[in-house]
Amino acid sequence: MSEIVYVRLLRKVEMPNSGPIYVKDIALLSCSTELKNRLEYLPLHYITKKDKNVIVVDGFSVIEKMAEHHKNIDVQILGPAQSIILITQKKKKAAFWMIAGIWLLLYIGAAMAIMNFHYDVSMEAVQQKLHFMLSGEEKEHPFWIQVPYSIGLGLGMILFFNHLFNKKFNEEPSPLEVEVFKYQQSMDAYMAVYENKVEKDDDVRN
């Protein structure tokens, strides 16, 4: 009687740029301990320079590899049908001048965007009009409105993005994080279809 092996492929994993890819690197197995220990170390692919930076392992190739070595098993895939492997390279630390330059560009760009928006909607004229309606006096610079407005604008952006440098105020994702997550899902779906797939005829070095 065949033994059932449940396999749950990990959606995405990171691995170094050389060496073999074993079943345990990309999947979680549920079966007897003895069989699990044998299946986890089945090699699926050997990473080479030809693989560049992305490898996609299909669940069907995992099933075939297990069936080759163990005849009396019934493999059932749970969860994702493919596992995306990102090949990591050694990264150099970013130079301080580069970080400072990027920060300065973002700061200037954000400041220009805010100023252009306020110019387009005539915010200064609106605040002057508001001051006149509340006090009955005309004033070129109603600071009692402008200063709290400026402080509130900054605090509102901090609360909206749910970040102050590396600190998060709660566990809810910010709108930016949600958009990045959606983009990453689309990228993963694209890579699963079009990127470098491991087929059953690929050479595996034991």
HEC string of 144-158 equals HHHHHHHHHHHHHHH
pTM: 0.65
CA-to-CA separations, 136 to 8, 128, 131, in angstroms, rounded: 71, 11, 7
pLDDT-derived band at 100 (thresholds 50, 70, 90) equals very high
Inter-residue contact 139 to 128 (CB < 8 Å)? yes
Find the mean pLDDT for residues 96-115.
91
| 31-86 per-position pLDDT tens digit | 888 889 899 999 988 888 888 888 888 888 888 888 888 888 888 998 888 899 88
| 156-205 per-position pLDDT tens digit | 888 887 777 677 777 788 888 889 999 988 988 888 777 656 654 454 44
Q: Which residues of 132-167 are buried (b: 16+ CB within 10 A; e: fewer)?
A: eeeeeeeeeebeebeeeeeeeeeeeeeeeebeeeee
When comparing pLDDT for 166 and 116, which is higher?
Answer: 116
Q: What angle do CA 56, 62, 67 make, to 5 degrees?
A: 160
Sketch out the chain's domains with CATH numbers: 3-91 (2.60.480.10), 96-177 (no CATH)
Find the mean pLDDT for residues 151-155.
89
Write phi, then psi, for 31 (nearest 5 degrees).
Answer: -170, -170
**Which tokens in the block code for residue 178?**
């949600």
Inter-residue contact 14 to 31 (CB < 8 Å)? no
- Which residue has 């009955």 as its token pair? 136
